[in-house]
Every structure is written in structure tokens, then in C-alpha cells.
Amino acid sequence: MAQPRVLTGIKPTGQLHIGNYIGAIRPALALAEKSDDMFIFIADYHSLNAMRDPEQIRANSYDILAAYIALGLDPSKATLYRQSDVPEIFELSTMLMNVAPKGLMNRAHAYKASVDKNRALGKEGAELDEGVNMGLYTYPILMAADILIAQANIVPVGKDQVQHIEMARDMAGTFNHLFGETFTIPDFEIQGEVGLIVGLDGQKMSKSYNNTIPLFETSKKRRKLIMKIVTDSKLPEEPKNPDESTICDIYKFFGTPEEIAELRADFEKGGLGYGDAKQRLFEAVDRELAEPTERYNELIADKKQLDEILAAGAERMKPIAMETINKMREAVGFKTR
């Protein structure tokens, strides 16, 4: 029995940090280890809804590719490609617009969030759509095309993304009902929730808060950033609550179970200063990321190698995409290619 086809994507919208690694990249790498039919794509078209700098989009796409490979992904085992290199996705997206009700798009989380934000600013009527482009509004349709073009069986997502898979299922089901069995109905797999990943200031780690720890950094700079983690004024000899510590919050993703238990115990009994605790955190993070950082720097300096990997992924994807498009064209009465 063939293994289910697994598909996931990531938008190239900014510098990768350890929050991206813990929440998205590490789970994808774990899935790739178990799957013989894994597809990972760089969603560069999706990034256009928020970004307007072509050089930055290009650089971010290379960053993502280099990051996955540096962290252990084997491009010969997983199909790695850039969304914009597979034009069949966009033909499929146009076709899906004919079976996607406008009301479905009105219920999309990203669109509703934009409308709610405008409403909170006192806007009404047509002003509620201020700042909403059609790329944002039809985002779920393009995402459905990303999934259906590969005839994916499983799409790993966080709880906040389940709606997108449900919409893709709705569109695929409607098309199959109208024109005959054409698309695989995808299912979703909820990724293990890692909870809130905090930044240097104790808030959610986010580029907009300027509180991130970049994924790939020199050990010296990595240590300097970790030493900037905001703490309270308790003295080393005072007991501290590990559940209220940013240091412990991040450490739980990088330490061994024994190390995590030891740090928590040392917090609770007192005698451990914040500087020493930050040093432990640095050593755990650096242990995991120092070698991948070297590999990342080698890859990012060799764009030719990265281009070859992307070209190979697109070439592997091409017959799959074309088969899907021809099934769709035949179903609706169009000439196949």
C-alpha cells in the first residue's frame, strides 16, 4: 500500500528565527523523516500579499531552502520546489474560482481579521475592505490549488490553519460532484502544539516585536542576544518560578529532559543566577544550531547549488502537476495538454 502524500509550505516573508524552527521547520523535518512521499514548497506567490520588495522575496526564498537543507532535509528524498516554478498551480486556482462561493471567502480568517481591524477603527460600509487586495481575499483558493495540484493526502497544520484545509476539501468535493472524481480530498493532521514561543522580552517571539533570536547566527552573537533576555530583579540565592521564566520557556525546546528538570529544580531551590541560567540556555541552543549554521552559510553562499535543487524539485513536480491539470481539463471538457 502506497504511503500517503504529505504536503506543507512556508511563506518567505522574513528572517527565520528559532520560533519558526520550533513551530514549523522542526515538525516538518520530523514528518520528512517518516514519509517517503513528502512535498515542501516555498509559497512565494502568497508572500506578495504583504511584501513588495523583489530582492527581499528572492533572498527569503533562498533562506528557507538553505535552512531546511542545513537542518537535515534530504532534497533527494523530499520534493522541494518554489510555488512560482509550477505554473499549473495558477491554472488550477483559476478553475477553483468557478466552484468557490463568495460567501466561503467572506468567512476566511485572514479576510475577517482585516475587516474586524477596520471596524475597530470606526470604519464602515466599503471602508471595511480598506487594505484588502484580491490576493488576500482569494488566499484560500490559491492555497487549495497548492494542495490539490499535488493530490496530497495529508497537510500538517496548526489549529489556526485547519479552516484552509476544510475550504480545500469543500472546493475539491464540489468539483468532484459536478465533474466527476478528479481531486484527492485532502485531510489535515494537527501538528503537536508547542504553545507560545516567547521572545527576549517575554512576549510572543515575533519580528514585529523585534524580540527574536535569529535561527542562523554566529555563536558570539547568539550568546549576546540570549544574555539580553529580560528577567526580574531576584538575586541568585532567591528561589524563582520556572513557569514564569523566559529562559526556562525557551530552554524546554533545546535541553534534554534531564537538563530541563535540573534547570527547573535549580530555579526552585535558589542559588542559580540569571546569568548562569542564560549561559546554560546558550549552550543548549548553540549545541543544536552551531553546525547547521555553518552548513547554512555554505549553502547561502552558493546560489547555483540552491537553484539546481529548486530546478530539480520543479522538474519532479512537473509531471504530477500536469497529470492533475489534464484530469481537470478532461473533466470540464477542455483539450488536454
Domains and CATH numbers, the chain: 6-100+138-196+303-332 (3.40.50.620), 216-296 (1.10.240.10)
Residue 15 has pLDDT above 90, yes or no: no
- Name the pLDDT band for 111 (thresholds 50, 70, 90): very high
Q: Classify 112 as helix, strand or coil.
A: helix
Q: What is the pLDDT of residues 240-249, one digit of tens each?
A: 999 999 999 9
CA 279 to CA 178: how far, in whole Å?
61
pTM of the complete model beyond 0.95: no
Residue 192 has pLDDT above 80, yes or no: no
Burial class of residue 92, CB neighbours in 10 A (0-12, 13-18, 19+): buried
Residue 310 is predicted with a pLDDT of 97
Backbone angles phi, psi at 103, to 5 degrees: -60, -30
pLDDT, averaged across the chain: 95
C-alpha cell recorded at residue 145: 490549488
Residue 1 is predicted with a pLDDT of 58
Q: C-alpha angle 43/47/48, rounded to 5°? A: 125
C-alpha distances (whole Å) from 73 to each of 16, 210, 311 are 16, 28, 16
Residue 129 is predicted with a pLDDT of 95
Can you give the length of the chain in residues? 337
CA 193 to CA 199: how far, in whole Å?
17
Residue 161 DSSP one-character state: G
CA 121 to chain centre: 30
Backbone angles phi, psi at 326, to 5 degrees: -70, -35
Residue 2 is predicted with a pLDDT of 73
Residue 193 is predicted with a pLDDT of 66
Residue 256 has pLDDT above 90, yes or no: yes
When pLDDT is averaged across residues 258-274 and rounded to a whole number, the result is 97
